Amino acid sequence: MNESLGDTGLILNDPLLWEKGKKGRCGFSLPRRDVESAPLREDLIDEGPDFPDLSEVDVVRHYTRLAQWNFGVDTGMYPLGSCTMKYNPKINEKYASLPGLAGAHPLMPADLSQGALKMMFELEEYLTEITGMDATTLQPAAGAHGEFTGMLLIHAFHVRKGASRSKIIVPDTAHGTNPASAALCGYRPVAVSSNEDGILSADAVAEVMDEDTAGIMITNPNTLGLFEENSKEIAEIIHAKGGLVYCDGANMNAVMGVVKMGAIGVDVMQLNLHKTFSTPHGGGGPGSGPVCIKKHLEPFLPVPRVVRDNGTYVLAEDYPESIGKVQAFHGAFGVMIKAYSYIRRMGPKNLNKASQLAVLNANYIKERLKGTLHLPYDRPCMHECVFSDKHQAAQKIATMDMAKRLMDYGFHPPTVYFPLVVHGAIMVEPTETESKEDIDQFIDAFKAIVNEAKEDPDLLRDAPRSCKVRRLDETTAARKPCLAG
Amino acid sequence: MLYLPHTREDIASMLETIGVDDLDGLFSTVPEDCRFTGDLNLPEALTEWELNDHMKALSDSMATFPAYKVFMGAGSYEHFIPASVSYLLSRSEFVTSYTPYQPEMSQGTLQAIYEYQTLAARLMGVDVATASHYDGAAALAEALLMAARITKRRKVVISSLIHPLYRRVVQTYFEPTEYEVVQLPYLKSGTTDFAALDDMDDLAAVGIQSPNFFGCIEDLQAIGEKTHDKEALFIASFTEALAYGLLKNPGSQGADIVAGEGQSLGIPRSFGGPGLGMLGSRKKFMRSLPGRLVGLTKDLDGKRGFVLTLATREQHIRREKATSNICTNNSLCALAAAMYMASVGGTGIRELARLNYDKAEYLKAELKKAGCIISFDSPTFNEFVVEFPSGFEATHRRLLEKKIVAGLCLAPYYSELANHYLLCVTETITKEDMDTLVSCLRSCFQKSKQA
Amino acid sequence: MKEINELNLPDDLRYADDHEWARVEGDKVRVGLDDYAQDQLGDIVFVELPQVGDTFKQGGEFATVESVKAVVECYLPVGGEIIAVNSALEESPELINKSSYDDGWMVDVKPTDLSEIDALMTSDACLEKLKGAE
């Protein structure tokens, strides 16, 4: 352990905000009072919120210490499968905080908002081109929100045809947001299993597809990190019965410049700007989930839409068949700026290269770890590979134990116990921004841990030892919930 | 490319380990007829220095504070953000981490969100608050769906004085459901007319915004009582979170669920997003809440720690039966709000909110003196509606040329309110700015009279 | 998790496919979750029970049991009216883990048709089924 990343830390404790401070302190420069106090009806007010009073130093130390208890991509490798934890370029942050963009009011007249509208218009064009679709809306605020928007579009499409359908096909490998998003639109998800190769067979889809089924939600590449090889044939089956194909594009990082989803039968898909397009996750968000569609869904897109008219950009509302709005304003504009600047910095060749290297890194890990860990689907993978804890069963060591031990070696664990079709799944997505040396170090750490599992399994069961806290009691947290102090 | 670390040698040796000849060989499982073989039609890569110029040009084309004096809120408010908040918020351990699935490695995010939940709950006057939602409109839509699920009833009623764009989001969310959305009209006083509730049945929820879209403070207590008489849930919404630094919070006036927008709490306007959807409820509805929740617990050594909890409500476990499909939230925005609330503090937020109120009252009085009509006589916080002389549109445009945004024209949202404008005054507007606005208005009015 | 030979499946109960047990007590039937189900779920953190007076058909969804990372719906093994619920589970859901056949009972049912119980498995049949599934 002496040579590894995770030795010790300089971790200082800090109490909760309201356990600090003293009444009368303030960490905010109160603006000058240049008007008289006006009369105010007493019955409208009370004593105000019970917030602690803290100085600026109190606040700065508090959050600096909290930050040190956290691990981010900037700290080290974060191979969380299906989350695409690639490096977040710093220049993107600078652009998002440019005063004209960060300070812009969303309801200003269009002629005073040309820069923002131009950026949005161009970003829509770029995403449309990358996916091979016909148009894009930037309004959805996250991947699941994009899925929901996509389902609304499909729903509107069928309603206009006078046939509201009641079901939607969702493979067993799908992320939980898929069935939940479909259910929000009143669709009943119909499960379909993947075959022995870990992908969907056309026959399995044909068996469940009928005229009461609105379409299929298909994640491609799927959550096993495999390309859905039969997707074109599946799309034909769905289309033949009047259904539409929704593609969960969360894993688009594998195929930029390699596959255009619009060319393989996809009618509507979402992108996750906070995955493929390098915007940071911020500990859970904000994200942005643009939806790209084919021509026949365009009338239903959310409003307002950014339109170019004689070289100027306007916000157009006049789309009578639109599903309406999914956000009060234009979506997560601040996130869009970062994705935009990423695409402009990368250019077409580097975006394609990024996908190639993401797939290279994942296959390299798969090859080098497959003797060490059980690999349920031994086939070429895309941007991620899925192992299991089957080989460790004899030592009664589970995926979670290995995941926690990785922390002591200075790595964020992979996604664990997902997808559900693999028992004890370990889903590794290195992304293209990890160098060969960092990946080799990760592989060596995993090998060492598997060795420890045989020789000293308690090292795993007691892990982690080098974080701010040891394993936490999630049972009591759920039994006696304490959600506020 | 500086984000792609692989050297030619790295690639060659990794390909050898994998056993394929070239990078293209990695995609052998993608069928020929699915492959795209051309080049993406995108602009060529720019250097950082070239992109700096391009982005600056985009930014410079925007009309923003402080060059512009923006007397417009309507759901997006200009408030001062302390440098310390922006600075702390850029800590990359917060910025570049994922949802805290591995709590031992995410105690920073988790404690910060727990603290946010606590301060948010205190501000809204509820027992529990969620870790955040996309924006105020989505939070309101989720709150209404939640009420329908809890009560197993089909009708939700919302005030026509809820932000018009929030109502459109609610309509979109409810369109494919079996639930019905009904709107309540408003009174001459600028508040909701809830008399119609008497004749309604099968009521799941009543949703009211206060301060409402006209800036007027609603009598939440009275509407809440009427709602509870109908055994429906009372949902309070808001777009200006700072108002509760001064006004009685919705929870103390009977709200069962509170949902609104927290952008005012240290988050830049950013052309409308990302914002902060705030959502909270009474404890008894805790298990019906959509979205992430952080809870307090202990580690193996008995040390205090935090975890994501009550996860069985969520999509990754309950799939189509989940309380929502939400996965990503707006965690970093919640963190900004927590840092802001901590910085301003209990004493500070009251003073700051009072200053907003006083400044808005000052402008109201000055406008009255200049001959404008204050449309509604209900008390307001930092926004209010003004009726200007007819043909004000041209004046509004002339003022824009002088870099003054004299409020939001209400006619597109309420066709009966021609020449009515919604004005907003926050602490960022000085007395001098207000005096300039009023004197410009006076001279414009004078000119049009002479003409 | 327990091996099959470690499971406790008392002889005097009947078992449904989804691992609810039923015990005839005079003219009522007491219902709970069996040892296999509680063991698979792990630490139970929350139980949602029906109201007294609710009625269900055989196989009707009458309760939800949650562990930290799983949730199962429970189906009533015998149709009828709920005449009592074990309210102790509200505060102490772990009773199902600790004492699945006694203190961890879930509801009492006044059955519409007591003969429905004959369709349920005996403990031997239940064990055989689990072995077959292995």
pLDDT one-digit tens code per residue, B19-64: 999 999 999 999 999 999 999 999 999 999 999 999 999 999 999 9
pLDDT in tens, B80-131: 999 999 999 999 999 999 999 999 999 999 999 999 999 999 999 999 999 9
For residue range B149-180, what is the model confidence (pLDDT) as tens digits?
999 999 999 999 999 999 999 999 999 999 99
Structure tokens at A275: 């995955």
- Reported confidence tier of residue A3, pLDDT bands at 50, 70, 90: low
In sequence order, the β-bridge partners of residue A416 are: A426
Residue C37 sits in which domain range? 4-133
Using the predicted structure, report yes or no on whether residue A221 has a pLDDT greater than 70: yes
Q: Where are the domains of chain A?
A: 92-344, 348-471
According to the model, what pLDDT value does residue B317 have?
82
Model confidence at B192: pLDDT above 90: yes
Across the interface, of B17, B273, B341, the residue whose CB is closest to A51 is B341
Q: Are strands B203-209 and B233-238 parallel, antiparallel or unpaired?
A: parallel
Separation of alpha carbons B15 and B23, rounded Å: 7
Strand-pair partners of B182: B157
Residue B321: pLDDT above 90? Answer: no
The pLDDT assigned to C133 comes to 73
Tell me how close the Cα of C17 comes to any Cα of chain A, in angstroms: 21
pLDDT reported for residue B314: 87
Examine the pLDDT at A84 and tell me if it is beyond 50: yes
What is the tens place of the pLDDT at every residue in B237-274? 999 999 999 999 999 999 999 999 999 999 999 999 99
CA distances to B194, B201, B202, B206, B212 from B197, in Å:
6, 8, 11, 9, 19
Best interface-test mutation with C: which of A416, A473, A475 has the largest number of C CBs within 10 A?
A475
> What is the rounded distance in angstroms from the CA atom of residue A134 to the CA atom of residue A292?
7
Residue A333 CA, distance from chain mean position: 17
Cis before A286 (ω within 30): yes
Predicted pLDDT at B318:
84
Cα torsion angle, B242, B246, B247, B250, sign: positive
Q: What pLDDT was estimated at residue A4?
A: 52
* pLDDT tier for residue A9 given thresholds of 50, 70 and 90: low
Closest CA to B423 of B365, B369, B371, B363: B363
Chains interfacing with C (3 or more CB pairs < 8 Å): A, B
Residue C134: pLDDT band with limits 50, 70, 90: low
The structure tokens listed for A344 are 């402009």
Complete domains list, chain B, with CATH: 69-79+346-450 (3.90.1150.10), 83-340 (3.40.640.10)
Please give the pLDDT value at position A1.
Answer: 41
Give pLDDT tens digits for A351-383. 999 999 999 999 999 999 999 999 999 999 999
Name which of B5, B14, B327 is nearest A364 (Cβ-Cβ). B14
Q: Specify whether the CB–CB gap between A35 and B330 falls below 8 A.
A: no
pLDDT score recorded for residue A6:
47
**pLDDT tens per residue across span A271-307:** 999 999 999 999 999 999 999 999 999 999 999 999 9
The domain that contains C94 carries what CATH number? 2.40.50.100
Report chain A's mean pLDDT, rounded to a whole number: 96
Q: Which is more confidently placed, B320 or B385?
A: B385
Q: How confident is the model at residue A8 (pLDDT cuts 50, 70, 90)?
A: low
Q: In chain A, which among 22-81 make CB contacts under 8 A with chain B?
A: 23-41, 44-46, 48-54, 56, 58-60, 62-64, 66-75, 78, 80
Nearest Cα residue in chain C from B311: C69
Provide the 8-state DSSP code for A250: G
Minimum distance, in Å, between the CA of residue A154 and any CA atom of chain C: 30
pLDDT in the model for residue B449 = 75
Non-local (6+) Cβ contacts of B77 within 8 A are B240, B242, B263, B264, B269, B382, B424, B426
Taking CA–CA distances from A228, the nearest residue in chain B reads B30
Cβ of B311 and C69 within 8 Å?
A: yes
Output the six-digit token pair for B302: 């008995």
Segment B342-365 shows an average pLDDT of 97
Q: Are B262 and B276 in contact (CB under 8 A)?
A: yes
> Chains B and C: how many Cβ contacts under 8 Å?
14
**What ipTM was assigned to the predicted interfaces of this complex?**
0.97
User: Would you call A345 an interface residue with chain B, using a CB distance cutoff of 8 Å?
Assistant: yes
Contact A351, A343 (CB under 8 A): yes
Give me the percent of chain A exceeding a pLDDT of 70: 98
Query: What is the percentage of chain B residues whose pLDDT exceeds 90?
Result: 93
CB contact under 8 A, B431 and A35: yes
- Give contacts of A 461-480 with C, CB under 8 A: 474-475, 478-479
**Statement: residue A49 has pLDDT above 90:** yes
Q: Which residue from B93, B152, B166, B127 is spatially nearest to B293, judged by alpha carbons?
A: B127
pLDDT in tens, C6-60: 899 999 999 999 999 999 999 999 999 999 999 999 999 999 999 999 999 999 9
Helices (H), B276-330: 315-318
Contacts of C71 in chain B (CB under 8 A): 312, 317-318
Which tokens hold the place of B185? Answer: 């009209």
Comparing alpha-carbon positions, the chain B residue that sits nearest to C69 is B312
Task: Check residue A436 and give its pLDDT.
Answer: 98
**B370-374 mean pLDDT:** 95
Q: Among B101, B336, B98, which Cα is nearest to A281's?
A: B98
Q: How confident is the model at residue B223 (pLDDT cuts 50, 70, 90)?
A: very high
A478/C68 CB distance under 8 A: yes
| Token pair in block for residue A44 | 């409208």
Q: How many domains does chain C have?
A: 1
Interface probe with C: pick from A396, A418, A479, A480, most Cβ of C within 10 Å: A479
What number does CATH give the domain A92-344?
3.40.640.10
Compute CA distances B204 → A186, B224, B358, whole Å: 19, 13, 38
> Distance, in angstroms, between B449 CA and closest chain A CA?
27
Percent helix / strand / coil, chain A, rounded to 5: 40, 10, 50
By the 8 A CB rule, do B264 and B240 touch?
yes
Residue type, B176: P
Range 160-219 of A in CB contact (< 8 A) with B: 175-177, 179-186, 188-189
Cα distance between residue B227 and residue B231, in whole Å = 7
Q: H or E element: which one contains B259? A: strand B257-261
Judged by a CB distance cut-off of 8 A, whether residue C94 touches chain A is yes
pTM recorded for the entire structure = 0.96
Taking CB atoms and an 8 Å cutoff, what residues of chain A touch C91? Answer: none
- What residues in B contact A353, CB-CB < 8 Å? 1, 4
Tell me which CATH homologous superfamily contains domain A348-471: Aspartate Aminotransferase, domain 1 (3.90.1150.10)
Q: Does A98 touch chain B (CB under 8 A)?
A: yes
